[in-house]
Chains A and B, each alone.
Chain A
Amino acid sequence: MLIVERDNHPGGILQQCIHPGFGLKLFKKELTGPEYYTEFVKEAKELGVEFLFDTMVLELADNTLICANGQYGITEVEAGAVVLAMGCRERTRANISIPGTRPAGVYTAGAAQRLMNRQNRMVGKKAVILGSGDIGMIMARRLSLEGAEVVCVVEIMNYLAGLKRNKVQCLDDFGIPLMLSHTVTEIVGKDRVEGVKVAQVDANRRPIPETEQFIECDTLLLSVGLIPENELSRGAKLQMHPVTGGPVVDENMQTTAAGVFAAGNVVHVNDLVDNVSAESATAGRSAARYAKGELKASDTLDVTVGNNVRYVCPAKFSPERGGKVDFYFRVLAPVAGKVEIIARDGDTVLARRVAPYVNPGEMEHLSPDVTGARSLTIEVKEV
């Protein structure tokens, strides 16, 4: 087992996620990011897993990685199976095309998090945060704790993008207002951000000009979504999922290239690291079986996305291999009341569960037994 890592240390993004909230499902306690990954790094080292740090993978073809490393130069790594775990990248100002000047002081929330939590650099004194995703709210708290003023969190949708508990602990605790159905319409400032213009949006998420107001600040943080980082996957010609932006995988987390598996945020953006770990364990186990020649190739069926479901992961499954499969999915629209989550093969219900509410920011799951199924639809119905 070899882990190829572009950073100089294992742990990935969890290194800068110093806040608690990780591991509630898996370890039944509230760990911080560094505490969470330490457990896995320890285990990996004990099992003799090797690491190749400061190394960038440039290309993946036929289970061979072409890597660039300062010490070894261009290096080829041949593998019996490959697991892709590149994670995701933040959407930037350019991705959402915010008009205005281009002053210093505009950061993605994750970049600001790295600067503050790993590099000991403060990003500003008075901030507006665009996007109510978890990283944005967590950075609102972090900035407040370190003495900055967070004027408001602006969210274009009419509902919270992140977890409710983060609103309580990160915004309400510090008296930071959340402006739903609002967006930043312009960035103002010559050398440094001097303020932003914020306007209410209509039902089609278009700014209403007469509601525009100027908010003075020196920093704008963007928490406006994540995109799976898939240059390698596209280069390897893997089938990509049009909704998630990650590779299409089956119930073993195998992509459309035999022997190439994928797990975590590179496949679809997760809100809980515990789910990433569960999915990664499936990918790892399957990759080991493939390398040993034990993973049976089989025809797969596509999961049908039913009522109020945005996407389902895995998007394919094998009825022949069958068994209970954990399907993770997100809803399209929030429902405040009770809903029924159903997995069915035609008219035959394979699994069902009642949930007290659903929210696009919180991933749902269902684990039907798909042995011999002729089709699979996952849907959410109000009850």
Chain B
Amino acid sequence: MEKKIICTVCPTGCEMTVTGEDGKVTSVVGNTCKRGEVYAASEFSDPVRTLTSTVRVENGAEPLVPVRTEAPVPKRLIPEIMKLVNGITLQAPVAQKTVVLENVLDTGVNVVTTGECD
């Protein structure tokens, strides 16, 4: 199987052609760095994305605080994670890097705040 993949590791956006079977990559053409090759393999088998969103804050100076997954998570889980994120309400004050969802959906990745709210 052959797949055209645009690398999103950096803004260059190399256009790569990935060949492989059953999620296993046999060749990557078109990347200009090693990171592209790693990305191509991941994108070919089980694509991952960093999810960012916001979480409600009560009694704070602002109504929301931004959050992210600390590392990329499987793309297929993102709708499910969004439901969990939207179910959270924090109480101010909230510090940066507060864990709001630990090991979300057993991905081994935490959802943490990226900003703060007094």
Contact = CB atoms under 8 A, between A and B. Distances in A.
Partners in one complex: yes
Interface of A: 15, 18-20, 24, 30, 32-35, 38, 116-120, 145-146, 163-165, 167-169, 173, 271-272, 356, 362
B8 A18 contact: no
A361 to B, nearest CB: 10
Interface string B10-24: 111110000000000
Contacts of A272: 11
B59 interface: no
Nearest to A336: B15
B54 interface: yes
A18 B63 contact: no
A165 B114 contact: no
Given A32-B52, A356-B32, A117 B11 contact: no
Contacts of B64: 117-120
B94 interface: no
A145 B115 contact: no
A18 B78 CA distance: 16
Given A32-B66, A164-B6, A173 B49 contact: yes
B8 A169 contact: yes
B3 interface: no
B63 to A, nearest CB: 4
B14 to A, nearest CB: 8
B66 A163 contact: no
Contact of B115 (A15, A116, A120, A146): A15
Residue from the set A38, A119, A168 with the largest chain B CB neighbour count within 10 Å: A168
Contact of B53 (A145, A165, A168): A145
Given A119-B64, A146-B53, 11 more contacts: A18-B114, A32-B52, A32-B66, A116-B54, A119-B63, A145-B51, A163-B11, A163-B13, A164-B6, A164-B8, A165-B11
A24 B11 contact: yes
Interface in B21-71: 32, 49-54, 56, 62-64, 66, 68
Nearest to B56: A120
Nearest first, the 8 closest Cβ-Cβ pairs linking A and B are A164-B13, A165-B8, A34-B115, A18-B66, A120-B63, A32-B114, A34-B114, A20-B50
B13 A35 contact: no
A35 B66 CA distance: 10
Contacts of A32: 52, 66, 68, 114
Interface in B104-118: 114-115
Contacts of B51: 145
A116 B115 CA distance: 15
A30 B114 CA distance: 12
25 contacts: A15-B115, A18-B52, A18-B53, A20-B52, A24-B10, A24-B11, A30-B50, A32-B114, A35-B68, A35-B114, A118-B62, A120-B64, A145-B51, A145-B78, A145-B82, A146-B53, A164-B6, A164-B8, A164-B13, A165-B7, A167-B6, A168-B6, A173-B75, A272-B11, A356-B32
